[in-house]
A and B are shown apart, each in its own frame.
Chain A
């Protein structure tokens, strides 16, 4: 049990719709990262937020966007959903962004199905 929570646990959307996924980080953590895990694959880094600003992004299009709030919780927004967006979305929080050995703590994920 890591203290990182995500909502909802499951979600079904249709192609072209927009979706918002939410993550509450572990108490005291100020950095949140989001990952997309397609079926049978390893997680792929989407982006990271540190003190409410994006400070790292993977190879994902701009229709993937995010927010981090003053309480360090975070949202992942995906616009114009495509079938390939169907995946498990994982949120991970850690204490600081930078060069330390801080390990990310993962949430249980949100399973998104796009029809």
Chain B
């Protein structure tokens, strides 16, 4: 079974600065998908960024980028130019390619605070 670990329960960043959230995972599969989701107090789970494991190039979405290290099973999220609206709980998630349908395995989350 796959597991996802987020070792930072809380992180803080100053507005306009850069912050990196860590995620590691354990799997015996060679192909899979990794996601970062944002969950603000409204509870809606919002997709931030997605990475296919077979792609070596790190995914980017505007101010959000990932550092995907397949051999190390690491998938960190970098948020540049942090904004107050980035404050939320961030979850790293794993999805198998073969079988399991759309089952996502989530980490325990990192609460991001953005300070003025």
- Partner-B contacts on A (CB < 8 A): 2, 31, 33, 35, 40-45, 48, 50, 55-56, 58, 88, 90, 92, 94, 97-99, 101-109, 111
12 CB < 8 A contacts A-B: A2-B44, A33-B103, A41-B109, A42-B107, A42-B109, A92-B102, A99-B97, A99-B98, A101-B52, A102-B102, A108-B42, A108-B43
Closest to B47 in A: A103
Size band of the B side of the interface?
20 to 34
B94 to chain A, nearest CB (A): 11
**Set of chain A residues within 8 Å of B103, measured between Cβ atoms:** 33, 45, 48, 56, 58
**Set of chain A residues within 8 Å of B33, measured between Cβ atoms:** 101
In chain B between 26 and 81, which residues have their CB closer than 8 angstroms to a CB of chain A? 33, 35, 37, 42-47, 50, 52
Q: Flag if B104 contacts A98 (CB, 8 Å).
A: no
B85 at the interface (CB under 8 A from A): no
Given contacts A31-B101, A56-B100, A97-B102, contact A42 B44 (CB under 8 A): no
Bound Cα distance A102, B102 (Å): 8
Residue of B47, B100, B101, B104 with most partner-chain A CB within 10 A: B101
**Set of chain A residues within 8 Å of B98, measured between Cβ atoms:** 99
Closest to B97 in A: A99
**Set of chain A residues within 8 Å of B22, measured between Cβ atoms:** none
A25 to chain B, nearest CB (A): 12
Bound Cα distance A108, B52 (Å): 26
Given contacts A41-B108, A103-B50, contact A50 B45 (CB under 8 A): no
Q: Flag if B44 contacts A48 (CB, 8 Å).
A: no
